[in-house]
Amino acid sequence: MQYEFKNKKITVMGLGLFGGGVGVAQFLAKQGARVTVTDLRNTTELSSSIKQLEGLPISYKLGGHSEEDFINADVVVVNPAVPKNSKFIQIARNNHVQIDTEINIFFKLCPAPIIGITGSNGKSTTTTLTGKILEETQRKTWIGGNIGKSLLRYLEEMKPADIVVLELSSFQLEELNKTGKSPHISIVTNISPNHLDRHADMDEYIQAKKTIILHQGSGDYALLNYDDPELRRWEKDCKGHVLWYSANHTLANGAFIKRNDIVIAVDGKNTTIPCVPRIKIPGIHNLQNVLAASCAAYLAGAREQHIEKAITTFSGLAHRLEFVREVNGVRYYNDSKATTPESSIVAIAAFQAQIILIAGGYDKGSNFSEFAGKCAQHTKTIVLIGKTAGKIKELILEKKGSRETPSIFMLKTFEEAFRQANSLAKAGDIILLSPACASYDMFLNYEERGRQFKDMVKAL
């Protein structure tokens, strides 16, 4: 299979630390393009990403960008992490250079149908679970996108009979909008404020997310969370079939819970899967994720036995309400992926036991008022770290009024915070890392934060 990249001068802007630009640089170089990779970070910082590109004919301009790479290129491929108001993107536009992204290239070239999944929280769990159900059907299933794996490098192996499950971020969708494409089956898990340090306002963020349904055709499916008030307003924008899913309501069309069963209602036919008590991942939000994944996989050909096996054996993803271990009757959960107040609210609500919460971090413009209220009502102790610690402490004090609990501590380092939480825990308590904030003020990323937490728990 030969694509249209041979001998083209292509600038890949943003290699990234998590492989954001690695997949597309690899793919383009193998297609015979003349690839220049440019990033504000230096060679040392990017060493793990550069290592993956060893042996490929790629030029590097690291530690800053050069205007010439944006003026003389045929195409500039932009990593989702690059701010859209970057002057270098503007330079490329002013010189009539085509701007593209890895996901846009993939959508144009992918031969198989795509299930696309977005939302403020629950994307990765829903993406992984949808993929696991489809793998049970023996159909060749490809899982990637924002979940951390570029699928471009596997394009040559993909067949029209395969199926692709893609996690899509608001940044990826914003660019995808320009291609006029949406997935064949789209899931939206929920909408709450996120990335408002990057999007101008909530409306712009919602509009980016909406790309996942806007370009669907009459034969396509939009699966929307009925429990989310914002998503209920989207029905009028859907051009294909709308199926709802809900952990709280019985529905005529879609997926819902009835006693201990999951019910999938499609085209007047109800499919019942008796499995709810055997679902291992905690919380009502995870029930919603299970319903969305089950319904999407059902539309793509999965049946009861495939769904039941996958969802009752799935124990969750790393850093997402991940049970680490129990020590002296205290249970430790790593929810480092909770980088918004809304996702931490959901984590706190998933437990009945006394919670000692470790929270705080980088400030990406979130509103912590509701989170502070939840902490004031439903936690025993809060241990705060990072840039947002002072702001969150003030809000919790305001919300708790004259009540004794929760007690609040502010610590300088993550290790001190962990030791403080541990010293206060009694048998039956839960120590929950669910920061409600991004990690960039103290860590490379949320994964490093979660790994450090798990290491400290395992060392007890």
- Tell me what the mean pLDDT of segment 413-440 comes to: 97
Torsion of CA 80, 17, 9, 109, to 10 degrees: -60
Per-residue pLDDT at 2 exceeds 60: no
pLDDT for the residue numbered 18: 67
> What pairs with residue 331 in β-bridges?
326, 430
Contacts of 435 (CB under 8 A, 6+ apart): 335, 336, 338, 339, 344, 358, 359, 360, 361, 385, 386, 449
Range of the domain at 334: 322-458
The Cβ of residue 218 has, within 10 Å, a number of other Cβ atoms equal to: 7
Percent of the chain with pLDDT over 90: 87
Whether 170 is in a domain gets the answer yes
Please indicate, yes or no, whether residues 421 and 407 belong to a single structural domain of this protein. Answer: yes
Strand duo 9-13 + 34-39: pairing:
parallel
Whether 1 is in a domain gets the answer no
pLDDT for the residue numbered 282: 86
pLDDT for the residue numbered 195: 59
| Band (200; pLDDT cuts 50, 70, 90) | low
pLDDT for the residue numbered 20: 74
Per-residue pLDDT at 83 exceeds 90: no
Please indicate, yes or no, whether residues 168 and 71 belong to a single structural domain of this protein. Answer: no
Please indicate, yes or no, whether residues 29 and 89 belong to a single structural domain of this protein. Answer: yes
Please indicate, yes or no, whether residues 372 and 294 belong to a single structural domain of this protein. Answer: no
Q: Please return the burial class of 338, using the count of CB atoms within 10 Å of its CB with bins 0-12, 13-18 and 19+.
A: buried
Determine the residue type at 95. N
pLDDT, tens digit, 9 for 90 and up, residues 222-236: 999 999 999 999 999
Pick from 270, 294, 313: which residue ends a domain? 313
Per-residue pLDDT at 433 exceeds 80: yes
pLDDT for the residue numbered 196: 57
| Band (358; pLDDT cuts 50, 70, 90) | very high
Per-residue pLDDT at 294 exceeds 60: yes
Which range (126-130, 305-309, 350-354, 380-384) has the least confidence? 350-354
pLDDT, tens digit, 9 for 90 and up, residues 206-220: 999 999 999 999 999
What is the overall mean pLDDT for the chain? Answer: 94
pLDDT for the residue numbered 60: 97
pLDDT for the residue numbered 197: 59
Please indicate, yes or no, whether residues 190 and 177 belong to a single structural domain of this protein. Answer: yes
Please indicate, yes or no, whether residues 113 and 160 belong to a single structural domain of this protein. Answer: yes
**Domains of the chain: total:** 3
Please indicate, yes or no, whether residues 161 and 183 belong to a single structural domain of this protein. Answer: yes
- Tell me what the mean pLDDT of segment 75-92 comes to: 92
Per-residue pLDDT at 1 exceeds 60: no
Measured between alpha carbons, how far is 388 from 457 in angstroms, rounded to an integer? 24
| Geometric angle at alpha carbon 166, from 165 and 169, rounded to 5° | 155
pLDDT, tens digit, 9 for 90 and up, residues 153-196: 999 999 999 999 999 998 899 999 999 999 999 999 999 866 55
Pick from 79, 100, 121: which residue ends a domain? 100
pLDDT, tens digit, 9 for 90 and up, residues 99-119: 999 999 999 999 999 999 999
Per-residue pLDDT at 354 exceeds 80: yes
Pick from 279, 313, 347: which residue ends a domain? 313
pLDDT, tens digit, 9 for 90 and up, residues 28-80: 999 999 999 999 999 999 999 999 999 999 999 999 999 999 999 999 999 98
CATH of the domain at 301: 3.40.1190.10
Q: Which residue has the tokens 């696309």?
A: 116
Q: What is the pTM of this model?
A: 0.85
Whether 3 is in a domain gets the answer no
| Band (361; pLDDT cuts 50, 70, 90) | very high
| Band (148; pLDDT cuts 50, 70, 90) | confident
